[in-house]
Amino acid sequence: MARENSNGRPTGLTFNQRAQIFDRTAARVTKEYFDPNFNGTKWPDLARESRQQILALEDADAFEHAMHDLVRRLGTSHTGFFHESVKRVPARLAIGATFHRTETAAGTLWIAQDVHEGGPAHAAGLKPGDVVRTIDGVAPPSNEPPMFAMGRDVDLALDRGSEHLALRISIPTPRSKKQPTATLKAVTWSIVEGNVGYLKVPILPGALGLDVAREIDVAMRELASCDKFVLDLRGHVGGGLGVLRLMSHLTPDRIPIGYTVTRKRAERGYDKASLPVLDRLPTDLPNPLAIARMAFKYAGRDTSVALVSEGLGPKRWHGRAAILVNEHTISAGEMVAAFASENRLAAIVGVETAGRLIPGSSSKVGAGYMLVMPKAEYRTWGGLRFEGRGVQPSVRFVWPAGPDLTDLSGQLSGALSALRGR
């Protein structure tokens, strides 16, 4: 039997347990990973060659790290291996913040960049530009951004300009252990610089995204009289089908957006124009009826699908829009930026996005461990694939790095400048 600590995390696994977890993981990757060529990595051979070495690791943490490293050798985003006790979660998911890495004579600094409203970091008082000195008394590693355990408090020592500060961040237990994410304020909006509508969407919660789609609709009604529009996707962490509504507001028409293709569909061949079409979120219905309708149409079938915008009609600001992105914009945020760029719906302002645009799915593989990997890939309607390379900006704006770090308003000013000529 596995030995567990107080939060249910294994401290030791038997050899047979490790073997069972390893073999389940290897079988699922071999059968279900979206690319039958394993992204050019010869992954099944790598798994066979490393099996005995990994199974010899009696320490549960060492076993988990080795399994994570093995799965990560597939070379795609949304790919990993972790325990459901969510001990190591990226900051963007655990606390609703991202960090910028800066090299100085004194060593590597991790500087808070995006701090999303409603998240644990924002509630604790973390601000863009804060330099993290220690986390629970230990300096963060230089080779990866800060990671956090969910369901506990964490103490940060910070430099804010010349001030030395201490913050305690209370990180809640995630609602879903399959997709551990802190709750963020998903939609905020305002009118800036005269009559420019500003909408910030850091996350699109919910698999079907019905509630967030309705929130986006409310924001768009409030901003309907604006002459120009800025969509802020800096630090966007991803989400579900609410992304269809967000993209649909960028164009008056029904136009193809992109498509996802599973391994099964790819292996037998397909015509993108013949894929099942998702072109409407039934937000006019109560959630139970809307969910039932979506389930009747799509559940239990191959998940390959073509996305088409909903045809929501013209807006005053169409043709005069900008989208803010940065190196932390991932997943659904990149879908929006790619759609807008490919169809010339908005100026993309910032730096290249993260190149993490592929849908990930999680599976249980035993003893509380989860395998996460993409079972389908996403391409724009023009056939572009942004996994591994991000969406390029049309207006480049690099977040300042140095002793004068303040907030992120400079990039918004850059977007407004880009819109003045439109």
Determine contact, residues 154/140, Cβ cutoff 8 Å: no
Residue 133 sits at the vertex; the CA angle it makes with 127 and 134, to the nearest 5 degrees, is 105
Q: How many CB atoms lie within 10 A of CB 2?
A: 16
Strand order in the sheet with 360-366: 80-83, 369-374, 360-366
pLDDT at 178: 65
The reported pLDDT for the residue numbered 6 is 46
What pLDDT sits at residue 401? 47
**∠ CA 75-79-83 to the nearest 5 degrees?**
140
Secondary structure class of 274 (helix, strand, coil): helix
- Residues belonging to the chain: 422
Only one residue has tokens 């190149």, namely: 355
Alpha-carbon distance 210 to 208, whole Å? 6
Determine the residue type at 68: H
Ramachandran angles phi, psi of 383, nearest 5°:
90, 5
**How far apart, in Å, do the first and last CA atoms of the chain sit?**
66
pTM of the model: 0.90
CATH of domain 188-355+390-420: 3.90.226.10
Q: Which residues pair with 81 in a beta bridge?
A: 371
Domain 188-355+390-420 in the same topology as domain 90-171: no
Cβ within 8 Å of residue 86, ≥6 positions away: 94, 149, 150, 151, 173, 174, 177, 180
Q: Give CA–CA dist 209/200, Å, rounded.
A: 16
Residue type, 245: R
Q: CA 219 to CA 197: how far, in whole Å? A: 9
For 158, phi then psi, to 5°, come to: -130, 155
Sites in the chain below the pLDDT cut of 70: 1-11, 177-178, 400-409, 421-422
Q: How far apart are CA 99 and CA 94, in angstroms?
A: 13
State pLDDT tens for residues 148-191: 988 899 999 999 988 999 999 999 988 776 677 889 999 999 99
Query: Which residues, in sequence order, are bridge partners of residue 369?
Result: 83, 366
- Closest to 230 (Cα-Cα) out of 199, 191, 189: 199
Q: What are the sequence ranges of the domains in the chain?
A: 3-75, 90-171, 188-355+390-420
What pLDDT shows up at residue 73?
96
Options 3.30.930.10, 2.30.42.10, 1.20.1090.10, 3.30.360.10; CATH of 90-171: 2.30.42.10
Distance CA 418, CA 422 (A): 8
Contact 166, 158 (CB under 8 A): yes
Cβ neighbors of 239 (< 8 A, separation 6 or more) are 203, 204, 205, 206, 209, 212, 331, 332
Which whole-number Å values give the CA distances from 126 to 18, 94, 234, 339, 410, in the listed order? 40, 14, 17, 33, 19
CB 312 within 8 A of CB 253: no
